[in-house]
Amino acid sequence: MSLPEAFKERLEKIVPHERFDTIIKTFDAPKQVTFRVNTLKSTASELEAELTREGIAFERVGWLEGVYRISPDDKLRLTQTEAFYGGRLYIQNLSSMIAPVLLDPKPDETVLDLAAAPGGKTLILASMMHNTGWLSAVEPSRERFFRLCDNLKHQGVTNAHTYMTDGRSVGKKCPLMFDRILLDAPCSSEARFKTFDEKSTSYWSIHKVKETSKLQRRLLLSAYDALKPGGKLLYSTCSFSPEENESPLQHLLERHGDHLKTLPLILPFDNVQKPLTRWGKEVYDERIRNAVRILPTDTIDGFFICLLEKLP
Ligand code: SAM
């Protein structure tokens, strides 16, 4: 199976020309498996000792404490360990781990995860908050909501309050309430495409990208309303399309730009690209240049991240 032609044509216009061929190849093979210690239940050294006893060969990911990689061939064995059953480790792609780490929630803060299921990032938020403060996790899809609740329980999260509701309504219901908000937005998941998995591309179309962009704009406005002055908002997607990344941010800045700034992001690897300055007829606000587009490799999924601060 091959990637949709329209997707490839667009991607060629988005990513740096010299990296296009390498990036296209990353869709053909399974990524290395990465996982992290759940610090609510264990520590890096305890988990390392436990996995070593069980004969699992892992490698540390140097730039994130308590994060490891293994070959995709060993994934099944990892999911059969006591540590996995006991919720002491969580399998997650590196780009997904980076978003909550960059948002950097502190213990005792009031934090909102506005599109939370299945909860991989909520778990990191809870760990960073040491299970203190108030963590709201919102998810409207019933099935995904219950998966989120199960995950939080299994991983020992006790500071989360879960809401099966539409994130677009939260800003009006809870204005100026949160110190930090993560909006890991519903997206067309282009960075999760796999040429060996037909289902991964089957829902994609340019129409879908544009529809999703409208939802993302409304979720961003809702997040803005829910954010306290001085609070931080992290917007992320696992799509490449500017309609889902730069455009919703542009829309937000056009409405509330006088009260927002973006913050520069420094990532410890070089497979990153600055956001686009324009796409089609749109010319993007200079502040969006602080965001980053993570380019996929054999280990890390493509991702887009922007960190904003609401001015006091
Ligand atoms: N942050 C999650 C994690 O790390 O596990 C992944 C979130 S996923 C990219 C986006 C989620 O947004 C999906 O679970 C989807 O059901 C949810 N979603 C869709 N429409 C939504 C809406 N109107 N408000 C809030 N969440 C929505």
For ligand 1, the distance from its centroid to the CA atom of residue 151, given in whole angstroms, is: 15
Q: Which long-range contacts (CB under 8 A, 24 or more apart) does 39-42 make?
A: 39/66, 39/127, 40/126, 40/127, 40/131, 40/155, 40/156, 40/157, 41/86, 41/87, 41/88, 41/155, 41/156, 42/83, 42/88, 42/89
Q: Is 76 in the same domain as 137?
A: no
Question: Final residue of a domain: which of 92, 116, 134?
Answer: 92
Strands 160-163 and 178-184, how do they pair?
unpaired
The CATH number assigned to the domain holding 140 equals 3.40.50.150
pTM here? 0.97
Q: Name the H helices within the chain.
A: 5-14, 20-25, 44-53, 75-78, 82-85, 94-103, 120-128, 142-154, 170-173, 199-202, 206-226, 246-256
Confidence band of 287 (pLDDT split at 50, 70, 90): very high
Is ligand 1 within 6 A of the CB of residue 186? yes
Are both 18 and 152 inside the same structural domain? yes
Radius of gyration of the chain (CA): 19
Number of structural domains in the chain: 2
Rounded to an integer, the average pLDDT of 212-224 is 98
Among residues 48, 1, 36, 61, which one has the least CA distance to residue 297? 61
- Is residue 294 predicted with pLDDT exceeding 80? yes
- 53 and 155 share a domain? no
19 with 53, same domain: the answer is no
C-beta of residue 107 within 8 angstroms of C-beta of residue 129: yes
Residues 75 and 140 in one domain: no
Based on the domain organization, do 154 and 293 belong to the same domain? yes
Please give the pLDDT value at position 114.
98
82 lies in the same domain as 220:
no
Question: Do 126 and 146 reside in the same domain of the chain?
Answer: yes
Quick check: 94 and 61 in contact, CB under 8 A? Answer: yes
108: amino acid identity, one letter: D
Q: Is 115 in the pocket of ligand 1 (CB under 6 A)?
A: yes
Q: Which of 92, 123, 138 is the last residue of a domain?
A: 92
Q: Is the CB of 165 under 6 A from ligand 1?
A: no
Task: Examine the pLDDT at 144 and tell me if it is beyond 80.
Answer: yes
Owning domain of residue 79: 32-92
Q: Which atom of ligand 1 is nearest to the CA of 148?
A: 5
| Average pLDDT across the chain, whole number | 97
Q: Mark whether 112 and 225 lie in a shared domain.
A: yes
CATH code of the domain in which 53 resides = 3.30.70.1170
**Domain identity same for 13 and 109:** yes
Same domain, 148 and 40: no
* Nearest protein CA to atom 20 of ligand 1, as residue: 186
Q: What is the pLDDT of residues 97-111, one digit of tens each?
A: 999 999 999 999 999
Give the list of residues 6+ apart from residue 150 with CB closer than 8 angstroms, or none: none
Kindly state whether residues 76 and 156 are assigned to the same domain.
Answer: no
Largest Cα–Cα separation, the chain? 58
